[in-house]
């Protein structure tokens, strides 16, 4: 099986995907602080449900990252996958670059974040 320009070792793809999920879990964890502040200002049932949902989101993303890291450890480095089509479907260019391995994971996003009013 020939390698195209976007074919990469499967363990590398899985590790980057795990890193992305872990980063999302950290962002979700930050949202919990915001929800906690809202709760302290006058909790209602809806806000408490949102707080629980944010906590569950963090836990599920952390679990997803752990599974992907486990798969990356056991995946054969001889197996490659062409991830080009999957990455082309992502709406955030910075995320696609990170998952493709073409961006510094520590570098901040370059501004293609969607805001509420976009």
Residue 32 vs residue 117, higher pLDDT: 32
92: in domain: yes
Residue 22 vs residue 46, higher pLDDT: 22
Indicate whether 105 pLDDT > 60. no
57: in domain: yes
109: in domain: no
Indicate whether 114 pLDDT > 70. no
Rounded-to-integer distance, Cα 26 and Cα 19, Å: 11
For the chain, percent of residues with pLDDT exceeding 70: 77
pTM above 0.85, yes or no: no
**Range(s) of the domain holding residue 82:** 8-100
Q: Count up the domains in the chain and report the number.
A: 1
105: in domain: no
Residue 29 vs residue 78, higher pLDDT: 78
Rounded-to-integer distance, Cα 108 and Cα 44, Å: 35
Provide the pLDDT for residue 2: 42
19: in domain: yes
110: which residues sit within 8 A by CB, 6+ positions away? 93, 94
60: in domain: yes
């Amino acid at each position: 099986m020939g390698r195209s320009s976007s074919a990469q070792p499967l363990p590398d793809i899985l590790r980057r995907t795990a890193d992305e999920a872990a980063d999302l879990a950290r962002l979700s964890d930050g949202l919990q602080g915001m929800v906690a502040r809202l709760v302290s200002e006058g909790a209602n049932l809806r806000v408490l449900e949102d707080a629980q949902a944010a906590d569950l989101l963090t836990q599920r993303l952390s679990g997803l990252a752990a599974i992907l890291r486990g798969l990356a450890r056991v995946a054969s480095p001889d197996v490659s996958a062409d991830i080009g089509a999957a990455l082309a479907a992502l709406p955030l260019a910075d995320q696609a670059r990170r998952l493709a391995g073409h961006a510094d994971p520590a570098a901040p996003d370059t501004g293609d974040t969607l805001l509420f009013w976009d």
